[in-house]
Structure 1
Amino acid sequence: MDMTSREVRLPLDQVVAVLQDLNEFVVSLDRLRSRQGAGTADERTVGQFVDDWDVLRRLAQARYVIDVALVAQLSEEENLEIDALCEQGRFFGDRT
């Protein structure tokens, strides 16, 4: 499947919500990394951030928003191809 010329539409409110969450995570994780580098945060700080800010649920919601759009707008074969590509990702704990 040629993905370079394909477009998938998403409702603007959902895109903005996903972008807001991603922006919060990127900025916050960058700040946490800086604090760790300066010695003012330890390894538990990132875990606390993930828990307190409900990062897992919010990222799962972002993935769901994108997945719903893909399922609605692409063929089953195309969605299976995308699923296979996603399974090739790097996952924490996997040995490479």
Structure 2
Amino acid sequence: MEILPREIRMPLDEVVAVLRDLNEFVVSLDRLGSRQAAGTADESTVGRFVADWDVARRLASARHVIGVALDAQLSEEEIAEIDALCDRGRFYGSEGAGGSH
């Protein structure tokens, strides 16, 4: 399967909201990793962050925003190809992904 290069348009306010959330997660997780390396945080700290900051819902919202834009601009065949590629991802708790990913 090959996805050919092309542009997908999205409303700027939605892109900014997704980027803001992703930036918060990346910076916060980096800081948590540094704290773990320094011994001032443990695995439960990351779990509290994920729960307290509603990370799963916010990431699902980001995925939805991108999915809506793709659905509006691509054919059903292209969407099916993208879905198949996404299904090949690594998922925590899946066989082969192990507990460390």
Shorter chain as denominator, the TM-score bin is over 0.9
**Alignment partners' CA distance in 1, 2:11 and 2:34:** 35
Aligned: 1:89 with 2:89: yes
Unaligned runs of 5+ in 1: none
Relative contact order, CA 8 A, sep 6+: which one is greater? 1
**Alignment partners' CA distance in 1, 2:92 and 2:5:** 31
Identity of aligned residues (%): 73
Number of residue-to-residue matches in the alignment: 96
Equivalent residue number for residue 49 of structure 2: 49
Give 4+ residue runs of structure 1 displaced > 2 Å after superposition. Answer: 1-5
Using structure 2 for the length normalisation, give the TM-score: 0.91
RMSD of aligned Cα (Å): 1.1
Unaligned runs of 5+ in 2: 97-101
Deviations 1:1-48 (A, max 9, x none): 653421110000000000000000000000000000100001100000
